[in-house]
Amino acid sequence: MSRPNAQSMKPATAAKKLDVYLPATPAEFQANAITRDELAALQADPPQWLADLRKNGPHPKNLVAAKLGVSIAGLARGGVVDALTTEQIDALLADKPDWLVAERESYQSVLAEQRRVKALHADKAR
């Protein structure tokens, strides 16, 4: 079995690097390996499909979680299992369901604790 070209990547990897939801990309993108040069060209001068995906979605879970201010696990606990569009994210932010409010508070507590521990370690290192 031959080793794939080290200068190309699977479509899933390229989609992650572009911050887009792979199933929403064009079939041609999903079917072919992407070279580093092609990825750089997509990042430098995004085609219309890429600009539309980045603007309107559907967005991958990591971006949905970031836009909502929760963790990916918090999304799952809230029942969000699929990619969401920008419109759906905006609707959730406007409605503020109970699960979202609770998950945002929990996530902020976790981040505060991480900052506290990091500062503690920095003080000990001095």
Distance CA 52, CA 26 (A): 12
Contact 100, 70 (CB under 8 A): yes
pTM for the structure as a whole: 0.78
* pLDDT tens digits, 39-97: 999 999 999 999 999 999 899 999 999 999 999 999 999 999 889 999 999 999 999 99
Q: What percent of the chain has pLDDT over 70?
A: 95
What is the pLDDT at residue 6?
59
Record the tokens describing residue 7, joined without a space.
């200068």
Q: Which residues of 27-37 are buried (b: 16+ CB within 10 A; e: fewer)?
A: eebeeeebeee
d(CA 101, CA 97): 7
Identify the pLDDT of residue 1: 36
101 pLDDT band (50/70/90 cuts)? very high
Q: Return the percentage of the chain with pLDDT > 90, whole number.
A: 83
pLDDT at residue 122 greater than cutoff 80: yes
Residue 2's pLDDT is 41
pLDDT at site 123: 84
d(CA 98, CA 89): 15
The CA angle 64-112-99, to the nearest 5 degrees, is 45
pLDDT computed for residue 5 by the predictor: 53
Please identify which residue in the block is written with the tokens 């990591």.
Answer: 62
The residue among 115, 102, 95, 116 whose CA lies nearest residue 71 is 102
- The owner of tokens 């993108």 is 29
Contact call for residues 68 and 104 (beta carbons, < 8 A): yes
Mean pLDDT, the chain, integer: 90
Domain range summary for the chain, segments of one domain joined by +? 1-56, 58-126
Alpha-carbon distance of 84 to 74, in angstroms, equals: 15
